Amino acid sequence: MRRPRPRPSLGILGGMGPSATADFYRRFVERTPAGSDQAHLPVVMWADTAVPDRTEALLGQGPSPLPALVEGARWLQRAGVSCIAVPCNTAHAYVEQLSKATGTEVLDMIGAALEAAARRTPGLERVGVLATRGTRLTGLYERAGVRLGLDVVQVTDGVQERYVDAAIRAVKGGADPAAPERWIATAAESLKEQGAQAAIAACTEIPLISGAAARVLPLVDSTDALAEAAVARLWQPAQVVRARGRRG
């Protein structure tokens, strides 16, 4: 079914949402230190936009996205990928199950984002997270923070609903980015008031509207952190990024 692949290749399990997937793929290409087309890393992508909404599933308001994620991961496996990147923070609630069900290495976007924040802000102790309600609910960032010795803070329920949820919804709906960008900056202000020294744009839609927030606090883009981790994993095979599934 396939010829042997001489080089490591990346599988992208995307479409959650498609703009964020396109942003991730661009960053992965930009971060790859290749000098010609042929030197770049092969990529295959499955962007099934019909994957059920992750936050709705986590809130018990909709079907699980897991079957669609497993189908996509199996298809990427058959294409011979070395590992899979899932450029959606909320979908990471399912990554451990996905990795176990398929035996595939899935890169850990949550750990990559927190590690990038620690590297970029020396002495970092408290980091704020701008995420979907689904990601907040799962405690993914809090648990990874414990492992890395970081105190993770979230916005209040009011700020979440009024500014963060509204901004993510607006980006996914293709709205004008001016208002969502202000809302995300307001949410970053509230994290700063709670003592956060840095923040993570922990939903792949947020980096698309985080220009103003980055002037409030040092802001790590989770999409870019995942791209960096993917290049590190594949460009230098000796450098092993631990897969979430293997850790869990």
Active site residues: 88, 203
Shortest Å distance, C-beta 44 to a second copy = 6
Shortest Å distance, C-beta 196 to a second copy = 28
User: Nearest CA to 53 among 135, 113, 130, 158?
Assistant: 135
Name the token pair of 92.
């990471």
Contacts of 223 (CB under 8 A, 6+ apart): 20, 23, 24, 27, 87, 201, 204, 207
> Whose Cβ is closer to a second copy: residue 199's or residue 227's?
227
Half-sphere exposure of 222 (CA within 13 A, CB side): 30
> What residues between 24 and 53 interact with a second copy by CB under 8 A?
25-26, 29-30, 32-53
Can residue 75 be called a binding residue for a second copy (CB under 8 A)?
Answer: yes
Shortest Å distance, C-beta 190 to a second copy = 26
Q: Are 24 and 85 in contact (CB under 8 A)?
A: yes
Can residue 151 be called a binding residue for a second copy (CB under 8 A)?
Answer: no
Can residue 165 be called a binding residue for a second copy (CB under 8 A)?
Answer: no
Query: Could you tell me whether strands 10-14 and 198-201 are parallel, antiparallel, or unpaired per DSSP bridges?
Result: unpaired
Residue ranges binding a second copy (CB under 8 A): 2-3, 6-7, 12, 15-19, 21-23, 25-26, 29-30, 32-53, 71, 75, 79, 172-174
